[in-house]
């Protein structure tokens, strides 16, 4: 056993949130909210760089833990939900309406796994498959929330613009 294993598993289990008997993925997604808040001071490039770094680390973290528990994508591994939601909220203002909308949309995509999410997860193997499916759910969420935000901005005239 590697001395890093307990740390790796603790991270994979979302600091313990993944061990919840009820909705571990949802709890992990909620855990991402204070992380998003901490990252709001970053410029978009810095925020995105952190997400990419966490994604790359997640391939190892989730892969090692999945291998340790001998499962392809066990529900208790939720690090991927955290990183996926961080991506989903990239360059979205940290306002409760956007956080709530992003949360609902992200959980929708993460649970239903529309194409190619489920297919890629199966094709890519342990660590990469676990991480990629949540990153795509995050990208879908990011796109949809941006579209909604843009539509609201178009329909809501500014005070100076009429």
* Cα 65 from Cα 49, distance rounded (Å): 24
As a whole number of angstroms, the distance between CA 87 and CA 39 comes to: 11
Residue written as token pair 């613009």: 161
Q: What are phi and psi of 143, to 5 degrees?
A: -65, -45
| Per-residue confidence (pLDDT) for residue 74, from 0 to 100 | 79
- How many Å from the N-terminal Cα to the C-terminal Cα in the chain? 66
Residue 54 confidence class, pLDDT cut points 50, 70, 90 = very high
Of 159 and 119, more confident = 119
pLDDT band at 38 (very low <50, low <70, confident <90, very high): very high
- Please give the C-alpha separations between residue 1 and each of 17, 22, 66, 69, 99, in angstroms, as whole numbers: 23, 30, 15, 13, 39
Q: Is the pLDDT assigned to residue 35 strictly greater than 90? A: yes
Average pLDDT over residues 96-105: 96
H or E segment to which residue 127 belongs: helix 126-155
- What's the rounded mean pLDDT across residues 108-116? 87
> 36, 44 in Cβ contact below 8 A?
no
The proportion of the chain whose per-residue pLDDT surpasses 70, expressed as a percent, equals 93
Confidence of residue 4 (pLDDT cuts 50, 70, 90): low
Where does the pLDDT of residue 159 fall: very low under 50, low under 70, confident under 90, or very high at 90 and above?
low
**Rounded alpha-carbon distances, angstroms, from residue 28 to 14, 38, 107, 122:** 6, 16, 11, 22
Q: What is the mean pLDDT of residues 118-134?
A: 82
For residue 1, name the pLDDT band (cuts at 50, 70, 90): low
**pLDDT-derived band at 162, boundaries 50, 70, 90:** very low
Domain extents in the chain? 5-155
> In this predicted structure, what is the pLDDT of residue 36?
97
Integer Cα distance of 88 and 142 in angstroms? 4
């Amino acid at each position: 056993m590697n001395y890093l294993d307990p740390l790796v598993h603790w991270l994979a289990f979302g600091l313990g949130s993944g061990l919840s008997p009820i909705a571990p993925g949802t709890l992990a997604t909620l855990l991402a909210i204070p992380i998003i808040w901490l990252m709001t001071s970053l410029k978009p490039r810095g925020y995105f760089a952190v997400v990419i770094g966490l994604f790359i680390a997640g391939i190892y973290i989730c892969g090692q833990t999945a291998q340790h528990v001998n499962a392809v994508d066990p529900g208790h591994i939720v690090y991927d939900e955290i990183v996926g939601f961080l991506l989903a909220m990239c360059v979205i203002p940290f306002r409760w309406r956007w956080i709530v909308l992003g949360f609902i949309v992200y959980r929708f995509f993460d649970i239903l796994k529309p194409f190619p999410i489920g297919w890629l997860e199966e094709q890519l193997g342990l660590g990469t498959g676990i991480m990629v499916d949540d990153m795509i759910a995050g990208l879908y969420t990011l796109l949809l929330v941006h579209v909604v935000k843009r539509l609201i901005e178009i329909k809501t005239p500014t005070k100076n613009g009429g």
